[in-house]
Chain A
């Protein structure tokens, strides 16, 4: 069973929840930028939520399916079409042998996720299937997908029993990750938050920042009003995480994302809360965001609430698929 790449996308890589346990080697976790969407795609494709998925940027690859496959597409809306006909996002879909999946037009978001039911025949590297582009390891041959790539997947039990080319299953998820205004990103104070002058704190908490075009899986370079500090002392390098907001010597900010380096020496003025990372991952260059400072307790609570909601939807999808299987 396999899928083939008829045309390469700008950056399509295999990702999962990331590679943990090796940051002391300088090997960063990586993983899907929008982990929530990646997990939902897997659930809708009747996979384990942490199975590998293809993370797509726009313009995305064109895929050919060499057998019937149960798939799901979540995250950004790139207007997916199977053999020229639109298919819905956030829905379980069985597509037939020889179908071609294309992404016609950019509509919203930044990263889409394609999950395919079954076990990918790719090599695990250090307990994960995520692609580490720096190390050229993990995922599919340690690199992005290119034209003529063929990826093997173990046989799926989901087949089309009719002449239809595409079957949309009545299994969908209307999960919405956060109820607060769309461009607000909650964060907690960073270890060097105290270095910010009062004026800088006001700027951080009440003005908008633009995501510049120098933004990618490693980090988002922001543009906004300059932030001044009371203390300019050099910092020793120390660990950073996805969501760490660093203050550069220029007075501008950078938010570290999935492919961040494990350590850094710039002041860490704030940290995006874990519950808002998936939302941030769907922001693109030239979009604006605002920060809202919250307490650590609020951050922890938001994460647990997100997990509880996710779990409800997970159970719902699993039971819907179970009914269809019988």
Chain B
């Protein structure tokens, strides 16, 4: 599909590369995202990657003061120019980030129900989660919340009809074919299967978010003792 460029209000636009979640489409999003970040354009206020689209938020007044024309048309031209010479890069599996997760039932509040509903043992579900390499497609919903995928179809589970009111920070969840980690305590509808001792979001950190769009992730099972040890080191 040819990328489609459309306005997102009068100070932003969206480049749409596809309509489903898959690595090939998201690689295009992430490739353009990285190019735009590196260009350091003075009128570009934000670049927001999503599953199959990339949005640019721009300073319309700055652009029109310089060009005297439509800010949208100016940015659209720039995007077309960059798309014309875009080199699509795949996620780098060699640089996969290992995320320790404790799947103890005290943390994995929905795992027992999932196992019962699917007729698959808890250990098999954990294996399905930890043997795959996942791509961070985008961040959204909360600071540092990474949408990752795609999980094995045997593990995939729809969002809960009644969301939980307070999911602990670090909780690892499943929603459809996606997996994600809540960076802060939050209400939410994802099925919780474990918890990571890592800090996903730290306002005081050099980079506030541990995970970035385009990162490759592998989950590693750890015991409760290892969980506590890593948590203390954070």
Contact = CB atoms under 8 A, between A and B. Distances in A.
B223 interface: no
A25 B215 CA distance: 13
Given A24-B139, A26-B143, A300-B71, A243 B55 contact: no
Contacts of A236: 19-21, 50-53
Interface stretch (B5-13, B103-111, B116-124): B5-13
A25 B143 contact: yes
Contacts of B60: 274, 300, 303-304
Contact of B143 (A20, A27, A273): A27
Nearest to B178: A237
B46 A23 contact: yes
Interface string B37-56: 00000000111111111010
Chain A interface bracket (under 10, 10 to 19, 20 to 34, 35 or more)? 35 or more
Nearest to B141: A261
Contacts of B3: none
A244 B9 contact: yes
Given A26-B141, A237-B147, A261-B141, A191 B6 contact: yes
A96 B128 CA distance: 68
B191 to A, nearest CB: 18
A70 B61 CA distance: 30
Nearest to B55: A239
Contacts of B50: 236-239, 263
Contact of A263 (B6, B48, B61): B48
Contacts, number: 141
A25 B209 contact: yes
A26 B45 CA distance: 14
A322 interface: no
Contacts of B197: none
Most chain B CB within a 10 A radius of its CB, from A26, A125, A238, A299: A26
A135 interface: yes
Given A135-B143, A300-B71, A304-B61, A237 B138 contact: yes
Contact of A191 (B14, B46, B57, B145): B14
A239 B213 CA distance: 14
A90 interface: no
Interface string A96-112: 00000000000000000
Given A24-B139, A304-B61, A238 B9 contact: no
A296 B8 CA distance: 10
Interface of B: 6-12, 14, 16, 19-21, 33, 45-53, 55, 57, 60-61, 64, 70-72, 138-145, 147, 184, 201, 203-204, 208-209, 212-213
Interface of A: 20-27, 29, 125-126, 132, 134-137, 142, 188, 191, 236-241, 243-244, 261-263, 268, 271-274, 296-297, 299-300, 303-304, 307
Given A22-B46, A239-B53, A299-B10, 5 more contacts: A24-B33, A24-B49, A238-B14, A241-B11, A262-B139
